[in-house]
Amino acid sequence: MKMSHAGRLAIGVAAGLFLMGSAPSFADDSTDAKSQMDQVQEQIHQLQQQLQLLQNQVNQAQAQAPATPAGQPNAPKVTETVNHHFGFSSADGQNTVELTGRLHLDMGDYLNYKPGSATTDRSLAGGVNLRRARIGVTGQFMGDWRYNLIYDFGGTSDSLNPNNFLANGNGSTSPAISNSALSGVENAYITYNGFYKHGQQFPVAIDLGIADAPWTLDEATSSNDIMFMERSSSQVIATEYGGGDSRSLFGFRSNDSRYWVGAYLTGPQSGALHTDGASCISAAAVLTAPCLASGTAASQNGPQFSFLTRASYQILQDPNYSLHVGFNFADLFQPRVGNNLEAIQLFDRPELRIDPSYFLNTGNVPASGGMVFGAELAAAYQNAFFQGEYYHYTIDQLAGLPTLNFDGGYAEASYSFGGNRKYNPAAGAYTGVIPDEVLAWGTDGWGAVEIAGRFSYVDLNDLTTTNAKNIKLGTAGTNTIGAPSAYGGKQTTYAIGINYYPNLNLRFMLDYEHVILDIPTSSTSGNTKGATFDEIAARTQISF
């Protein structure tokens, strides 16, 4: 058995003392030096044997001792991140359980509402809205595996469908859609990221489960960090091709300090029905795929499936400035809207979630699939920041009808005082404003303030196509093909905002938006079903 450092030190000290007391005097010529040295070595040997016996007794006592009490170096421990993310960790840090949560409490109102000539006058209701209320656990297992399980008690997901209401914003009604009643499961997935920890030149993480698909630059930005209270309508509509929150997915992602790339196969959102059907029913029902040719309808269609990919790169990367470019692509190769409907529907509320009214809405377009092509750009210079994205959407209609084409995008910029936004390589996106010094009484810290502006638009009018078809609810309660149209509406929004960050866990937001909706009933009718109005809203945000 190897002797401990303490044992060796004791032997050295003892030997030194012994020699000091026993060594012969150089003045005593009558002493036999050799004989005395032999005696010293014998005594040192005996002392080594005694110390070895003592070391063995100590080792045996340690082996029989009870487990190390909490708080000692080898015991599980409580952890805390820089933004007060608390959890528990094993002694070696390979296994963790961490608490996470966020609360977004909104209040707002709508002003100066002016409907178009053919718009049913409606009162957009202001009030208070619990936008997000999430609580959950995240952590890792055996170092290489991560997990997330998060539930959202808030009630205003971006995926809420206008067909759940009596009428959508443009005054038409549509068939009820069963797969829009989502569960509250926000995240329930596992990730294998061992490739990042074992020296791979091209590290890969693999995700499987229910997650917020990290597709598009704005979606890759946490809802705790987005510049305005809501993402732009153009981005929300892009996620209807298979991205967004609570999405079942399987795929990979990889990044270093400059690049980010990922690809996912996605399915229905959490809570959506997973039925499988190809059987055709009565010809009196809806004439939609895959039974359109035979004049009958499918009793049920299977769940929606899509392929998503995104890649980005930091062309410039410096603590004081950066330049970011990227692209994204989605292929909705198996659409599914409802039990009896294989179709694609594009819709969104104005960029506020207080009132549930919809104006933008293509209706259910019978389709074999659709695609989104997107480009992203972001730049930062010291405290100034810019971000923008452009999207081109297509819908491949059934029965030989032409492909529908739509466009959308946004550009937003901000300037912050007392902090700035920083690039987050793991997401391929930017953080919120990180204060240089947090607000704390008795210090010079006061947090950070951000002043922001945004222009966004989305155009769901395909005025060049006169024989597009929407599905609308018939008088007998069955689905019938409506009149030829492709006028989902065009929305243009001008927004300004101010955000205050007292510390890394709190944010207070105030947004003001001017919304212009152009929804014609024909290529020559003009803005007959549109409206203009203003929105003002505030948010109190807590996250950990």
The Cα-based distances of 444 to 436, 438, 447 in angstroms read: 11, 9, 10
Nearest CA among 246, 242, 300 for reference residue 275: 300
Strand ranges inside 236-364, DSSP E: 247-255, 259-269, 280-281, 297-298, 305-318, 321-334, 343-344, 347-348, 360-361
CA distance 300 to 290: 10
The Cα-based distances of 262 to 79, 162, 219, 366, 534 in angstroms read: 30, 31, 13, 30, 38
Q: What is the DSSP letter of 345?
A: -
Residues 6+ apart with CB under 8 A from 222: 427, 431, 432
The two three-digit tokens of residue 41, written as one number: 């070595």
pLDDT of residue 378: 98
pLDDT of residue 299: 44
Q: What angle do CA 109, 115, 120 make, to 5 degrees?
A: 100
In angstroms and rounded to an integer, the radius of gyration of the C-alpha atoms of the chain is 33
Under a CB-based contact definition with an 8 Å cutoff, are residues 346 and 451 in contact?
no
pLDDT of residue 164: 44
What letter represents residue 348's amino acid? D
Q: 166-176: b or e for each residue (b if 16 or more CB lie within 10 Å)?
A: eebbbbbebbe
* Crossing angle of helices 5-22 and 33-64, rounded to 10°: 150
Q: Is the dihedral of CA 72, 78, 84, 85 positive or negative?
A: positive
Question: Is residue 238 classed as helix, strand or coil in its secondary structure?
Answer: helix
pLDDT of residue 342: 75
pLDDT of residue 122: 66
CA distance 544 to 301: 40
Under a CB-based contact definition with an 8 Å cutoff, are residues 296 and 283 in contact?
yes
CA distance 159 to 165: 13
With left for phi above 0 and alpha for psi between -120 and 50, is residue 466 left, alpha or beta?
alpha
DSSP β-bridge partners for residue 306: 266
Under a CB-based contact definition with an 8 Å cutoff, are residues 349 and 300 in contact?
no
> Helix, strand, coil proportions of the chain in percent (round to 5)?
15, 45, 40
pLDDT of residue 285: 37
pLDDT of residue 371: 98
Under a CB-based contact definition with an 8 Å cutoff, are residues 466 and 520 in contact?
no
pLDDT of residue 145: 94
pTM: 0.78
**Would you write out the chain's pLDDT as a tens digit for each of its 544 residues?**
444 444 444 445 444 444 444 444 434 444 465 566 667 677 777 777 776 776 666 666 555 555 555 555 678 888 888 778 789 999 988 999 999 999 999 999 999 998 877 666 667 899 999 999 999 999 999 989 999 999 999 876 665 555 444 333 333 333 333 334 467 899 999 999 888 776 666 789 999 999 999 999 999 999 999 999 999 999 999 999 999 999 999 999 999 999 999 999 999 888 775 655 444 443 333 444 444 444 444 444 567 899 999 999 999 999 999 999 999 999 999 987 654 567 888 999 999 999 988 889 888 888 899 999 999 999 999 999 999 999 999 999 887 788 999 999 999 999 999 999 999 999 999 999 999 999 998 889 999 999 999 999 999 988 665 444 444 333 333 333 333 346 789 999 999 999 999 999 999 999 999 999 988 776 555 566 788 999 999 999 999 9
pLDDT of residue 364: 83
Four-way CATH pick for 77-294+306-543: 2.40.160.10, 3.10.129.10, 1.10.490.10, 3.40.1160.10:
2.40.160.10
The Cα-based distances of 246 to 46, 111, 183 in angstroms read: 73, 33, 9
Domain ranges within the chain, ordered by starting residue:
5-24+38-64, 77-294+306-543
Tell me whether the omega of the peptide bond preceding residue 290 falls within 30 degrees of 0, making it cis. yes
Nearest CA among 248, 250, 249, 251 for reference residue 269: 248
